[in-house]
Structures are given as structure tokens and as C-alpha cells.
Amino acid sequence: MTMEQFQQILQKCNWPTRTEEPKTTLKEIEDMVGFALPSDYSMFIQKYFGYEEFIGKEYVRLWDVDELMEQNLGYDIVDNLPMTIGIGGNGAGECIAIEMTSTNNYRIVLTPFIDLDKQNHIDIGSSFTDFLVRLDNGQEWFK
């Protein structure tokens, strides 16, 4: 997927473009979680605001960069899911998260907020971009 296709998905959803620099830096977030964020997601949080919208058939709320630290600490995501950062939710009790599986390899997962355990992860993308493409193509999380 090209950057143009990535941006087309967000434009189709009327995702708001950031008009000001975020207060929270990528370094602060990466220091909190202990790993470098994937480049596609890093670009996203620097260019776009947090927002909620249906993408395809699924409801998605992606947290703004300035919410990431508060939400991850508040839900104890960092403590309960090492090498994972919550990036939002689906409005139905599940957290959307990025899990680093090995150096520079990531996957996007859906996991319940009430039982933060890796065994509950549902794979919903091999990257942040793949996650958006799957949703835009109508893939459902629960079949």
C-alpha cells in the first residue's frame, strides 16, 4: 500500500489533520513502552488527530498522540502487556494495540480492556497500514 492509498482511507473517513504540534513527543511515548513505534503509525500520530469513526464495518476510536500516555497508564496496558501500546478502542470493551513481536516486527491486535493478557489477542493487522486496509476492505473482527 502506498502513502497515497493510506491517506485516501483517512480522507474518506474525514479523519482530521493535525493543525498544531502535539505536546507529547514520540520519544516520551517510546521511552514509556520501551520500543520504537512503527514508522507508519509514527507518521499517523504526527499528522492526524485522534478521532472516532466507522472504517468499513467496524467502529474505531484512535487516541490522539497527547492521550496515549494517559490511556496506556490508566488502563495498565504497559504493566500488563509488555512490548505493547494501546492506540485506541472499538467502543465495545476492546483495546486496539500495537504489539512488537520482535525487533522491528509489529502486529495490530484487538484485546479486552478487562483482561489484558496476550492469550486474548486477536490479530487485526500485520502493520498499522494493513489494519486500515483490512477495515476499509470490509473485514470484520468477529465473524
Complete domains list, the chain, with CATH: 52-143 (3.40.1580.10)
Higher-confidence residue of 43 and 3: namely 43
Taking a C-beta distance cutoff of 8 angstroms, is the pair 69, 32 a contact?
yes
Predicted structure pTM score: 0.93
Please give the pLDDT value at position 24. 94
Per-residue burial over 59-79, b if 16 or more Cβ lie within 10 Å, else e, is ebebbbbebbbebbeebebbe
Residue type, 69: M
DSSP letter, residue 93: S
Q: 27-83 pLDDT, tens per residue?
A: 999 999 999 999 999 999 999 999 999 999 999 999 999 999 999 999 999 999 999
Q: 85-139 pLDDT, tens per residue?
A: 999 999 999 999 999 998 889 999 999 999 999 999 999 999 999 999 999 998 8
Distance CA 104, CA 88 (A): 21
